[in-house]
Each structure stands twice: as C-alpha cells, then as structure tokens.
Structure 1
Amino acid sequence: MTTRWLTPQEQRAWRAYMGATLLLEDALDRQLQQEAGMAHMYYSILANLSEAPERRLRMTDLAERLKITRSRLTYAVTRLEKDGLVRREECHWDKRGSVAALTDEGMATVERVAPGHVETVRAALFDHLTPHQVKQLEEIFTGIAQALQGDDEGGAVADVPWRRRSSPCS
C-alpha cells in the first residue's frame, strides 16, 4: 500500500489544528484549576449531568457524551464522589449498569464556575471567529465526528472509546 502523505496545505492545517487544540485545552484547564481546583474533564462531567433530566445519566451514556472510555469515566466519577459533587446510584432499568447523579453541591459548583468557563471559551475561541466561521466549524467537526463514530444501524461500528469493554458495572 502506498502512503498518502499530507500535502503542504494539509500539513499546515493539521499542525494548526493540533496547536490550537492543545492551547485551547490548556487555557480551559488553567481557568478551571484556578476557579474550581479541577481539570476540564471533571467540569465536563458536572456540566453534562447538570443538563440531564433529573441531573442523572447512565454511566455508559455519560461516557458517550464525553467521548471517553468507561474506565476513564469511572475513575473521574470516583474522584468527584470523594469531593461530594457526584453520587453513583444503581441503574433501576439495567441491573448491570450504574447512574451518575449530580449532587446539590455539584450543581452549586457548576453554577459558580460556569460563567468563568464560558468566558474563557468565548475569549479563546469564538471571539476570533465570524458567525460564518462558527457555522463552518460546527459543520466540519460534526462531519468528522460522525465519520469516526461509525454506523450503529447495519454498517460497520467504529471502535469508539465508550463502546470498549472495561468494566461490567459501567
């Protein structure tokens, strides 16, 4: 098989993407560490739970939303449980699974930290884009995510993180 090397323009685009992604993640982590003493991943868990019905999500559904492995989510939820921000509950409709529930303290943390987080996202990303570029960014990354996730209905299913087996209780 012949290697399909990146063109010079593709190489520049790839490096620009990687550089911007790393810088953005660093900016978000720094802001969240300063304001809440937590990494962006932990805040993302709290934020997703805060938007869920009854502030609860099955662990496998939460892993899918976050695009992470169930074992990584289990580790993070265990840490957030120790801090009193999340509680794990039995899944009543699937005895093999468990549910992550946002506590009142966790919700208060989200409400306290969200304004600074949103301002950081806006200043680091959206303030540098036109409305047309924001639309393009959404279209580009939605298309890439759909291609990488595969097809659940009859087609090939991609080896995505949240589908990997890691623990029978996730």
Structure 2
Amino acid sequence: MSQSPPQPLTPDEEALVRSLARIIYALPRALDTDLVREQHMPLIEYLTLMHLSEAPGRQLRMSDLATICELSVSGMTRVVQRLEKQGIVRRVRSEEDARGWNAVLTDSGFARLREAWPTNLASVRRHFLDHMGGLDIRTLAAALEKVAT
C-alpha cells in the first residue's frame, strides 16, 4: 500500500511553522536579556531555581534537573556550581543512590527566586502573552504540549 504524498502547507500553516521556528530562539533570548539586565540572572539560572522551588523538598536529582531544563548533565553541573557559589543552591548526596547528587534550593535561593519573579513575569507577558489576545490560550497550550511530547 502506498502512502499519498504530503500536502503542501497553506499560507497560514506556513506562517505558523515559520513563526514557531523563530520564537523557539527569540523568546528565550528576550527573557534572558530582561533577567540579566534587571536581575543579573541568566534565564537558565532562573529556570533552575524555579524547577527546584516546585520540587518536593525543593530538591531534584541533578540528571532530572538537567532534563527538565533541557541541558546536558555537565551543563547543569556548571549552572549549579555557579549557584552554589552564591549560596542559593547546594548539592547533597542522593539518599536513594549514594553515587548520585541532588541540587537543593536554599532559603536564600527561594528568596532570590521571589525577587526575580516579577521581572520574569513582566517579560513573559510583554514578549509573549500580550500578543495572544483573542486566542484560546488553553487550547493553544494543549496543542503545544502535544507537539512537545
């Protein structure tokens, strides 16, 4: 049985695909620029603190944190080392596996996240959500989640 050839994209589909390809790079850069300018905190550090704050006990295995943040384990190790020097994250041996390490958000790290949160929120609204007027955000979020998984 032969498959039918793929259908060309409509102009609207083409515009959507091209816009998505651009936003994948442009949005994180814009958020990072705002966070660095106003908080002296790169987006990857903000995301690291955010994910740790949402985890049980404010800690995650380093490899899991790397996956959530879309980094290699070595890349996440470098981020966590920078945050450790600031006293906002610490690393502890995993209780489940003595060979593994967990990153733990400290109280000062949680305070730092709360300090940076308004900048991130304003940036997300300005660069993304303010442009979604009239769209069904729930449906859009569900569709993008399907694509991501």
The 3-state SS of whatever aligns with 1:94 is coil
Q: 1:101 Cα shift?
A: 0.5
Counterpart of 2:146 in structure 1: which amino acid? G
Q: 1:91 Cα shift?
A: 0.3
* Aligned: 1:112 with 2:97: no
* Aligned: 1:12 with 2:6: no
Mapped contact 2:93–2:101 kept (Cα < 8 A):
yes
| 2:33 corresponds to | 30
Aligned partners of 2:99 and 2:8: how far apart in 1?
Answer: 45
Aligned partners of 2:89 and 2:99: how far apart in 1?
Answer: 19
Counterpart of 1:41 in structure 2: which amino acid? I
The share of aligned pairs that are identical, in percent, is 35
Question: Residue 64 of structure 1: which of 56, 63, 67 is its match?
Answer: 67
| 2:48 corresponds to | 45
Q: 1:131 Cα shift?
A: 6.5
Q: 1:133 Cα shift?
A: 3.0
* Aligned: 1:82 with 2:90: no
The 3-state SS of whatever aligns with 1:38 is coil
Give the 5 Å matches for 1:115-154.
115-130=118-133, 132-146=135-149
* Structure 2: unaligned runs, 5 residues or longer: 1-5
TM-score of the two chains, using structure 1 as the length reference: 0.74
* Structure 1: unaligned runs, 5 residues or longer: 147-170
RMSD: 2.2
Q: 1:121 Cα shift?
A: 0.6
Mapped contact 1:85–1:102 kept (Cα < 8 A):
yes
Mapped contact 2:32–2:42 kept (Cα < 8 A):
yes
* Aligned: 1:73 with 2:76: yes
TM-score of the two chains, using structure 2 as the length reference: 0.84
